[in-house]
Structure formats: C-alpha cells, structure tokens
Amino acid sequence: MSAEDLGRLLRGLAPQVLGALLRRYHDFDSCEDALQEAMLAATIQWPVDGVPDNARAWLVTVASRRVIDQIRSERARRDRETSSASRELPDALVAPGPDERVPRDHDDTLTLLFMCCHPALTPASQVALTLRAVGGLTTAEVAGAFLVPEATMGPRISRAKQRIRAAGTALSTPEGPAYVERLGAVLHVLYLIFNEGYTASSGPDLQRPDLATEAVRLTRAIHRSLPDDGEVAGLLALMLLTDARRAARTDAEGGLIPLAEQDRTRWDSDMVQEGARLVTDAMLRSPLGPYQLQAAIASLHVQAPRAADTDWPQIRFLYQVLCRIAPSPMATLNHAIAVAMTDGPDAGLAMLSALAADDRMARHHRLTATRAHLLELAGDTAAAREDYLLASRLTTSLPEQRYLRTRADRLTETDPTS
Amino acid sequence: MKFLLNAYAASAVTVARSEAERDAVVDHADFVAAARESGELIGGGVLADSSTGVLVRAREGRTTVADGPHLDSPVRLAACYLVDCEDRDRAVGLAATVLAAHYDAVEVRPVMLAAGMEM
C-alpha cells in the first residue's frame, strides 16, 4: 500500500474513530490527541504488518487505551493532590473488546458532523470545526484555507469546542424536527465549505487545501449513511455539477469566463454524468427540496451542447418552484434571468426593479451586474455601461471587478454615441 | 470575510479633552482581547501620532521620503485592525466595540477577495 493510499484510508477512518471515542469519553481534546497518536502508530505499523482486517476497530482500540491512560494519569495526579485512596475505574474507561457491537461505520462520521454543526456555534465556527474534526485538517491547514494566520484560527476552533462542551448533550443525535433542522445545518456547512473552495480554486495560493474536493468527499460520506435523503443527494449532485465546470470557468490569467462563453469540452463529463444521475434519481424518489432544484437547474445548464441550446423554459419553471419553496433574493435574481431569456429582457428587468426595493439587495453587486446584463440584451448600451461600472464598485472580489470593468469597456468601444 | 476597521480620532481630542477621553482613544484592550478570543482578530494596533509618519513615493524610478502627515485633516487615523468575521453586520458590531466609536468614527472597509464567483 502506497503512503498516499494509506493517508487516504486513514483520513476516511479518522472521523469514524473520533466519533466512536467521543461517544465513550466525551472530552474532545483528549479524544483528538488519542486519535492522532493512534494514526501515527498506524502509519508506522501498517506498512510493516499489513492493514488489520478491521482497521477502524484497531484504531478505536489503540486510541481508547491512550485516552484511558491519560484519564488514569490525570486521576492519579488529582489523587496525589487530594491524598485520597485510588478508586475503581468505571466501565466507561475500559477499552472495547473486539466482539463489542459497533454501529455502522458511517454513523459515527454523521454523529460527529451533527456535533460540529451544533446550533450554539456560528456558521464560521461550524465550518472550521467540521474541517478540523471531520475533515481531519490540521489547524494550520484550516487557517490556510481561509487565508488567516493560525493564531486567529486556533482560538476560533478552541472556542467552538468549549461552546459544544458547555452545551452538554453534544453527541446525542437530535430527533424529530430538530433532526431535520440539524441535518439542514450540516448540509449548509458543507455547502459553505464547497463555495469557499470553488471561489478560491483559481487563486494564486496553490498551497491552500482544496476545499471543494473536501466538501464533495464529506457529502459523499453522508450520502452513504443516508442514501434515501433527497436533499443530501441533491447537494452532492449540485457540487459535482458545479465543480465539473472548474477548468473552464477561468482563463490562464485567472479572469472569469461566464457560463455562456465557457469551452464546454473542458467540463468534466464524469462529474456531469454522476451529478445528473444523482439528481434525477433523488427527484423521482424523495420530496422536492432546494438543493435538488438547484442541482436540476445546474444539470440543465451543463447538458446543453451549446449555450444557445439551454432549456430556459424548464430552468424558468424550476426557479419558479424554488422561489416558492425556498424564497430568497438570489433565487428571485436567477428567476429574473430565466424570465429574460424566455420572455425577453424587459420582463426580466421588471422583476429586478421589484427586487431593488429589498434593502438587502439594493446595493448588491449581483443585482446591479444582472441588470447591466439585461440592459445590454435590451440594447440600452449607456444604462448597461453605467450599471456594469456601478457593480464593479460594489463587488469585493478582484476578478469580478476586472470582469465587470471589461464588460463596461466593451460597451464604450461599441457605443456609437460616445 | 476580511474587514479593515479604521478608528479615527479628531486631532483636537488629544489636547483639548479630558484625561479619561484621551485614554479612551488609545485603549482598545477589551476589543483586542474579545476579538482575539473569538478567533476573529488577525492583527493591527494603535498608531503613533501622525507627525511621526513619513510618506514614501516612487516617481520616475526615484524613491522620495517626505515627512507626514499625508492630509491636513481634522481627523486622523488613530488605530486600525484587520479582522476576519462572518459578515458586514458582525464587522460593524466589532467596530462598535472599538472605543473610539463613542465620540469619533470607525470606518469598516471590506478587503477585496482574490477569488470570484462565476458571473
């Protein structure tokens, strides 16, 4: 087994082992330390002795011993301090025997994800803790992924752990409506991780961990645990159908290429097929949800052989449903684009003016950029140019700003009145 | 998202107002402790008096150094902090805890990202 294969195997097992340890011993920090030591032991022993038949149980046993040693020495220290007689170890401190019933492997990954997405945490802390505990990234790697120093990320992760500890019932999986809500939080965190990676993947920082790939890996793990959940499948499909376009969406200089102008031969056809299959299957078998709808829309976009072949009436319909079941300004914005593509730019622009009344959107560069695009389609070059320039001032992304200025300049060149 | 919090103080404050107010201009200890503990503070600090700054310029291949301050303004940059936080609302909340906010202004400026969304 190559070092790379071993690394991949261990990274897949890590959250399951950590979940199993936490179920028994509760203390996040000692469980994490013990896991690190067990993984280190595995990287030394397995290449020599071979991978044990039940690699996960091996790691749990080795790590459990380590946690128990730590608790024992901690207790001995306390006993020395208090001069009290030594006590019996409770059952919880005994390492599990090989015949002990263990739940299905992936359930532990899921339990750990549920814990990391505890409602006591902010989304940014949920993201950081998920990458650290479930993704198995080091604090330095998580910090690198978000381009902040380790000295900033370290306290963020520590505080997240403290909050979870303070909240008590960390590892109990919620039931009923709370379960649905928590699963929603987990999917949202994975979506945030994916987006962070997706927007960053063209950046100059090649050392950053690939968060988009990491998000896909974790979402796959939940999909294996919950194969019948349509929204989990929908999110996985959405990620695959979006990531499939990665190679085509920036040019050699890192400039953004809009969907309609991308070289479709550079899209990853395996990812497109897998994503399309996942979402079609999910929509047939389970109740409709926002991730499935967004995946279905992404699927229609990538299955058109040319931009001109895009099935806009169908996309328009799906956005209409999305706006009904999960209303958001972004959904309305995209709906307006689809309306413009089916009924003409004026119909789309009318929807945008309603959206501009929304405070959250009025000064949003996406709204202004979309209006610029629709004005350009409508032939109102001067107004389109103004809006491209306004959007370029509102965005906080350098490549977006470059793109929007280029669009504005293009209109200056062709504008006969200037 | 990263934001720069620029705390401005009226230049008159340091000479004209009470001792307590003068301290408040430079005492951001509570803000720094809280933002560091929450894992949001990247760096920054209180700046020395603007008269101690110099202006560096590059013109036609030559670098020149001149005495500051840059602008003859009634307000001066007194402190700046780089934070990484959830969103603009949170950045505004952090800015409000920078004490100078009580009688001057803290400017909240988003830092541009090197990455962008498909347009």
Residue-number span of the structural domain to which A26 is assigned: 3-81
Averaged pLDDT, A327-332 = 90
Name residue A266's amino acid: R
Q: How far is B66 from chain A (nearest CA, A)?
A: 31
Averaged pLDDT, A333-343 = 95
User: Nearest by CB to A398, which of B36, B41, B114?
Assistant: B114
Q: Look at residue A29 and tell me if it is in a domain.
A: yes
Instruction: Inform me whether the C-beta atom of residue B36 falls under 8 Å from chain A C-beta atoms.
Output: yes
Q: Look at residue A9 and tell me if it is in a domain.
A: yes
Averaged pLDDT, A265-279 = 96
pLDDT of residue A304: 93
User: Nearest by CB to B118, which of A152, A203, A259?
Assistant: A259
Q: Look at residue B101 and tell me if it is in a domain.
A: yes
- Number of domain units in chain A: 2
Domain boundary among A48, A81, A114: A81
What is the distance of C-alpha A97 from the center of its chain?
36
Q: Look at residue B79 and tell me if it is in a domain.
A: yes
The enclosing domain of A366 has a CATH number of: 1.25.40.10
- B119 contacts A403? CB cut-off 8 A: yes
Averaged pLDDT, A6-29 = 85
What pLDDT band is residue A386 in, cutting at 50, 70 and 90? very high
pLDDT of residue A103: 47
Q: Look at residue B19 and tell me if it is in a domain.
A: yes
Q: Look at residue A395 and tell me if it is in a domain.
A: yes
pLDDT at A344 over 90: yes
User: Nearest by CB to B86, which of A124, A147, A259?
Assistant: A124
Counting Cα atoms < 13 Å in the Cβ hemisphere of B52 gives 5
- Chain B residues in contact with A152 (beta carbon < 8 A): 39-42, 84
The enclosing domain of B66 has a CATH number of: 3.30.70.1060
Residue-number span of the structural domain to which B10 is assigned: 2-110
Q: What chain B residue is nearest to A388 in terms of C-alpha separation? A: B119
Q: Look at residue A257 and tell me if it is in a domain.
A: no
- Chain B residues in contact with A148 (beta carbon < 8 A): 2, 42, 84
User: Nearest by CB to B41, which of A152, A249, A401?
Assistant: A152
What is the secondary structure of A179-215 as a DSSP string?
A: HHHHHHHHHHHHHHHHHHHHHHTTSS-TTS--HHHHH
Domain boundary among A45, A66, A81: A81
Q: Look at residue A269 and tell me if it is in a domain.
A: no
Domain boundary among A66, A81, A96: A81
Q: Look at residue A117 and tell me if it is in a domain.
A: no
- Number of domain units in chain B: 1
Q: Look at residue B12 and tell me if it is in a domain.
A: yes
What pLDDT band is residue A367 in, cutting at 50, 70 and 90? very high
pLDDT of residue A105: 52
- Chain A residues in contact with B43 (beta carbon < 8 A): 149
Q: Which of A295-299, A352-356, B102-106, B113-117 has the lowest mean pLDDT?
A: B102-106
Which residue out of B40, B41, B118 would a mutagenesis test of the A interface target, given it has the greatest number of A Cβ atoms within 10 Å? B118
Averaged pLDDT, A222-239 = 95
Q: Round to whole Å and give the CA distance between B8 and A1.
A: 60
pLDDT at A208 over 70: no
pLDDT of residue B100: 65
Q: What chain B residue is nearest to A407 in terms of C-alpha separation? A: B119
What pLDDT band is residue A268 in, cutting at 50, 70 and 90? very high
